[in-house]
A and B are shown apart, each in its own frame.
Chain A
Amino acid sequence: MNTIYILWLRQMKKYRRSGLRMVLSIIQPLVYFLALGYGFNSIFQQAGRGSYIQFIVPGVVAQTILFTSIFWGANIIFDKQFGFHKETLVAPVSRITVMLGGALGGATIGVIQGIVLFFIALIFGFHPYNLAGVFTSVGFMIMLSLAMVSFSSGIGAMVNDMPSFMAATNFLVVPLFFLSGSMYPLDNIPGVMKVIASVNPLSYAIDAMRSSLINQSHFGLTTDFLVMSGTLVVLFAFSVFRFTRIEA
């Protein structure tokens, strides 16, 4: 317990000391939100779908979390390259503990970024459906962030250099993001895309966020929750497995 805490604390300290990186990682999703939100708002409204700004905020919050979390494993590559990982690998602590300490750190950072973006969106006029929904959405942010951080840690444990890591994650993050319904509603899209979106776990995360923040749902909140739980369990197990395989 103490060990997980100190490993989590390590990540928090590093994050706080990272300075500019903290601010920069918010800017990209913010640009998406402002450019797309204001750019498409009137078309969306003319099509009778209501406010696009309302629609896109849950997606952009999820995107912030996705992007922060899925590159989390880069920290594991750094630990390998700077050698710190040897310190944890020979210590009498289980690899699950090591993985969990880091992953909880990454997930905390992901959720903080998501919440910051949510508050910025409030300033720009976003209004959530109700307060309970806001708290529910934080729960989903945690699940999404943990799942993505686990996945990314697993990849980080598998490969030893940054180019391979970036290739693997970039290869996945773009389709995952654009085929998830983050930018558009899923009900009137072509069949193939619909199929892809429905096997993409991120669609369910975004749907859950939309459901709790603006009360619009495509799959239903229960389905969202079940799919996300399943995804989290699988990705967590994957990561723990890869951690037990690290050699130096």
Chain B
Amino acid sequence: MENIISVQHVTKKYKEVIAVNDVSFEVRKGEIFGFLGPNGAGKSTTIKMLTTLLLPTEGKLSLAGHDVIKEQHAARKIFGIVFQDPSLDGDLTAFENMQLHAVLYKLDKRMAASRTEELMKLVELWDRKNSLVKTFSGGMKRRLEIARGLLHHPQILFLDEPTLGLDAQTRNLLWNYIQQLNEREGMTIFFTTHYLGEAEAVAHRIALIDHGKIVAAGTSEELKQQTGTDNLEKAYLELTGTSVRDETLSGADSKKEAMRRFMTKR
């Protein structure tokens, strides 16, 4: 099978941190690929580089043969993404957020209308379609983000902790739907999660990243064999250790964390 995502010797340095350190991997077309690792490992940074939001310090990334730096526009047509952090407009209604997305991705009007209805019903927000998003609960926002990310049926779907903060029923429902999309349309799924059971159940292949480096890759069976364990969670802990990564919290978390430390010091 051909590769649809290719990452070659990619490094991303922020001022003091090397978030991603000489990472290389490939994802095949039609694959459900789990990208796992502890907090601050470099998962979101990798996704941001793949989705043209960040420039790598070094290395090459491509989506369906398009270099994400040199052929940004072509690359953007290929994927959809659900970000780890919120990206909805709270002053618009749920429906308006979907509508805006449909126009940004130049969807046919009728198709957009029927998919919007289908997806909003799936995530059980159809009866709230005319409410302003800022009045939604965390889980409702999350569900809307996912529905929006699925709206344009991209070739590759990036999901950065899609199920964060969702109840078990909704998580189940969503993964079923995503698996269906993968089977029916051959959509490639690239996701991160901290629920290892989820990854074990849906991922065809998994890569483990820690401190900006890939530490293992393979099917969940292979990872279990390699570590002599009987479930993915144990294999994961075997491969990444049991210490908590509080020295490298990511993004907004690190600010909150710094604030908390600052406050408790006095």
**Do A87 and B101 have beta carbons less than 8 Å apart?**
yes
Identify which of residues 71-112 in chain A touch chain B, using a CB-to-CB cut-off of 8 Å.
79, 82-94
Interface contact A86-B89, CB-CB below 8 Å: no
Secondary structure of the B contact surface, majority rule: loop
User: Looking across the interface, which residue of chain A has its beta carbon closest to that of B93?
Assistant: A13
In the complex, which of the residues A7, A87, A93 contacts B87, with contact meaning CB atoms closer than 8 Å? A87
Does A20 count as interface, using CB distance less than 8 angstroms? Answer: no
Interface footprint category on A = 20 to 34
The reply to whether A247 and B76 form a contact with Cβ atoms under 8 Å apart is: no
Does B104 lie at the interface of the complex (its beta carbon under 8 Å from any beta carbon of A)?
yes
The chain A residue sitting closest to B73, CB to CB, is A92
Residue on A with the closest CB to B55?
Answer: A247
Q: Is the CB of A91 within 8 A of B104?
A: yes
Query: Which A residues are in CB contact (< 8 Å) with B96?
Result: 10, 13
CA distance A3 to B92 in the complex (A): 16
**A-contact 0/1 string along B50-72, CB 8 Å cutoff:** 01111100000000000000000
Q: Given A87-B101, A92-B77, A94-B73, answer yes or no on A82-B89 (Cβ-Cβ < 8 Å).
A: yes
Q: What residues on B are CB-neighbors of A85 within 8 Å?
A: 87
Whether the Cβ atoms of A10 and B53 lie closer than 8 Å is no
Asked whether B103 is an interface residue with its Cβ less than 8 Å from the other chain, the reply is yes
Contact assessment for A86 and B105 in the assembled complex, using a CB-CB cutoff below 8 Å: no
A36 proximal to B (CB < 8 A): no
Q: Does B123 contact A (CB under 8 A)?
A: no
User: CB-nearest residue of chain A relative to B148?
Assistant: A87
User: Which residue of B81, B87, B99 is within 8 Å of A84 (Cβ)?
Assistant: B87
**Contact present for B88 and A84 (CB under 8 Å):** yes
Main SS class of interface, A:
helix
- B139 is an interface residue with CB less than 8 A from chain A: no
Instruction: Using C-beta atoms within 8 Å of the partner chain, give the interface range for chain B.
Output: 20 to 34
A13 proximity list for chain B (CB < 8 A): 91-92, 96
Q: Does B165 contact A (CB under 8 A)?
A: no
Contact of A83 among B48, B73, B86, B132 (CB under 8 A): B86
**Is B118 on the interface with A (CB-CB < 8 A)?**
no
Query: How many cross-chain pairs have Cβ atoms below 8 Å apart between A and B?
Result: 73
**Residues in A1-44 with C-beta less than 8 Å from chain B:** 2-3, 6-7, 10, 13-14, 17
Give 1 or 0 for each of A181-221: 1 = CB within 8 Å of chain B CB: 00000000000000000000000000000000000000000
In the complex, what distance in Å separates the CA atom of A128 from the CA atom of B215?
Answer: 75
Bound: A6/B51 CA distance, A: 23
A90 touches B92 (CB 8 A): no
Q: Which residues of A contact B100 (CB under 8 A)?
A: 6-7, 10, 87
Q: How far is the CA of A20 from the CA of B132 in the complex (A)?
A: 18
Is there an interface contact between A93 and B104, defined as CB atoms closer than 8 Å? yes
**Which residue of chain A is the closest to B102 with respect to CB atoms?**
A6
**B105 adjacent to A83 (CB under 8 Å):** no
Chain B hits for A248, CB < 8 A:
48, 53-54
Contact status A84-B89, CB under 8 Å: yes
**Interface-centre pick from B48, B91, B96 (highest chain A CB count, 10 A):** B91
Contact of B105 among A7, A79, A92 (CB under 8 A): A92
Q: Is B175 part of the contact surface with A, judged by Cβ < 8 Å?
A: no
Q: Are B103 and A3 in contact (CB under 8 A)?
A: yes
Which residues of the partner chain A approach B48 to less than 8 Å between Cβ atoms?
Answer: 248
| B104:A6 contact, CB within 8 angstroms | yes
Is residue B186 contacting chain A, with contact meaning CB distance below 8 A? no
> Chain A's nearest CB lies how many Å from the CB of B178?
19
Q: Which of B's residues lie within 8 Å of A, judged by CB? A: 48, 51-55, 73, 76-77, 79, 81, 83, 85-92, 96, 99-101, 103-106, 132
Q: List 9 A-B contacts (CB under 8 A).
A: A3-B106, A6-B103, A17-B91, A83-B85, A87-B101, A90-B51, A91-B76, A91-B104, A247-B53
